[in-house]
Amino acid sequence: MAFLKDELEGFVPTEQQKEIMKEITLGSTLLKLSKVEPMKSDKKTIPVLTEGPGAYWVGEGDRIQTSSAQWIHPEIEAKKIAVIVPVTKEKLADTVIDVFKEITPEIAKAFYLTIDSAGLFGVNSPFAKSLFSVAKDSENLIENGTGNTFDIDVSNAMALVETAGHDVTGFIGHRGIKNTLRTLRDTNGNQIYVPGVTQNELYGSTVEFASNGGFDKTKADLIMGNFDYSLVGIREGIKYEILKEATLHSQTMSDGKPLSLAENDMVAIKATMRLGFLPIKEDAFAAITPKATTQG
């Protein structure tokens, strides 16, 4: 049985890795809806079919025509994401398994908030594009209130994606938009948005709500698109390292000073994983932006 004091760095035990990844997936709206690809190296080229071979009517005795499929080969690159969790020095006397059982929720939350904010809006992101940025670059933005009612705004935004030849397979919004969705009704008084125990639906497609911190509601109320073209690559293995002397400037103590592990008689566990993100088709995404405020 490995104790933390004897294993100051290495890979998180397999069962704890599975639990962390499970919680990350449950917490991340991006991972729930996107196409997830395992990566065995930091870069991976993924063939994507953009136009398939056609079929033809053939007369008796006529030669059958041939056609070729068209492919693109986008490359996704994994980048390192890290979280540092301070713990008491007493944790060094516990087993590696027990320690990671205890701090799994903290690691998972830090990871999925960072993944969502980067993939959705490009916040502190190492990736060139986010879903909001590609919707903006494609001019697939509809301002909330343009169509008088929110359901019309959503329909108009979906039409932008559909005009580009794609179907909307999912929506991601912030929690503050839930009530707006709940009040939507069709001409017969039926709910347009259908909340469920395991899945929420709008116009027949899944709706996910990002946790606070993962969605920038100053930029968008709802992001939608064909998430088959939202690609997430996950590199195998979550690594950890024990820090003993670091000063954590992101952690402020009661005296207003940064947490000093040595001065506060603590240690910290740094966990890292590698993940890549790439919107393959930029015009496959659209967004509803907040209603513009009038300056008085």
CATH number at residue 232: 3.90.1690
User: Is the confidence at residue 230, as pLDDT, over 50?
Assistant: yes
> What are the phi and psi torsion angles at 77 (to 5°)?
-120, 130
Q: What is the per-residue pLDDT across 231-268, written as a single tens digit (0 to 9) for each?
A: 999 988 899 999 988 888 777 777 778 888 888 888 99
Q: What is the pLDDT of residue 277?
A: 95
Q: Say which residue, 60 or 205, is predicted with more confidence.
A: 205
pTM: 0.87
Residue 294 predicted with pLDDT over 50: no
Residue 71 inside a domain? The answer is no
Q: How many domains does the chain have?
A: 1
Q: In this structure, is residue 56 part of a structural domain?
A: no
Confidence of residue 56 (pLDDT cuts 50, 70, 90): low
pLDDT at 65: 62
**pLDDT confidence of residue 212:** 76
Domain assignment present for residue 235? The answer is yes
- pLDDT band with cut points at 50, 70 and 90 for residue 296: very low
Least confident of 78-82, 92-96, 155-159, 258-262: 258-262
What is the distance between the alpha carbons of residues 225 and 163, in angstroms, rounded to a whole number? 12
- Exposure of 43 by Cβ count < 10 A (0-12 exposed, 13-18 middle, 19+ buried)? exposed
Helix spans in the chain (H): 14-27, 29-33, 96-121, 131-137, 150-163, 178-182
Burial per residue of 7-17, b for 16 or more beta-carbon CB atoms within 10 angstroms, e otherwise: eeeeebbeebb
Q: Quick check: is 1 in a domain?
A: no
- Across residues 273-284, what is the average pLDDT? 94
Q: CA–CA separation, 50 vs 281, rounded Å?
A: 10
- Which pLDDT value is given to residue 256? 78
CA torsion, ordered 222, 226, 227, 228, to nearest 10 deg: 180
What is the average pLDDT across 263-274? 91
Cα separation, 20 vs 38, whole angstroms = 16
**The token pair that represents 135 in the structure block:** 């919707």
Is the model's pLDDT at 139 over the cut of 80? yes
Q: Which of 1-10, 95-104, 215-224 has the lowest mean pLDDT?
A: 1-10
- pLDDT at position 203 is 92
Q: 126 versus 71: which is more confidently predicted?
A: 126
Cα–Cα distance for residue pair 154/171, rounded to 1 Å: 10
Question: Whole-number mean pLDDT of the chain?
Answer: 89
Predicted confidence band at 46 (pLDDT cuts at 50, 70, 90)? confident
At 220, is the pLDDT very low, low, confident or very high (cuts 50, 70, 90)?
very high
Q: Does residue 124 belong to any structural domain of this protein?
A: yes
Query: CB of 132 within 8 A of CB of 141?
Result: no
Round to whole Å and give the CA distance between 92 and 86: 12
The pairs formed by 145-150 with CB atoms below 8 angstroms and a separation of 24 or more are: 145/291, 149/184, 150/180, 150/181, 150/184, 150/288
Residue 294 in any domain: the answer is no
> What is the tens place of the pLDDT at every residue in 164-215?
999 999 999 999 999 999 999 888 888 899 988 788 999 999 999 998 789 9
Q: Strands, DSSP E only, in the chain? A: 9-11, 35-39, 43-45, 48-51, 70-72, 75-77, 79-88, 141-143, 170-174, 193-194, 200-202, 205-210, 222-225, 230-235, 239-243, 247-252, 258-260, 266-279, 285-289
The span from the CA of 245 to the CA of 265, in Å, is 10
Residue 63 lies in a domain: no
Residue 253: predicted pLDDT: 77
With left for phi above 0 and alpha for psi between -120 and 50, is residue 251 left, alpha or beta?
A: beta
Domain range for residue 13? 9-45+76-289
The tokens describing 128, both together, are 């060139």
Given a cut of 90, whether residue 53 has pLDDT beyond it is no
Tokens of 147: 């169509």
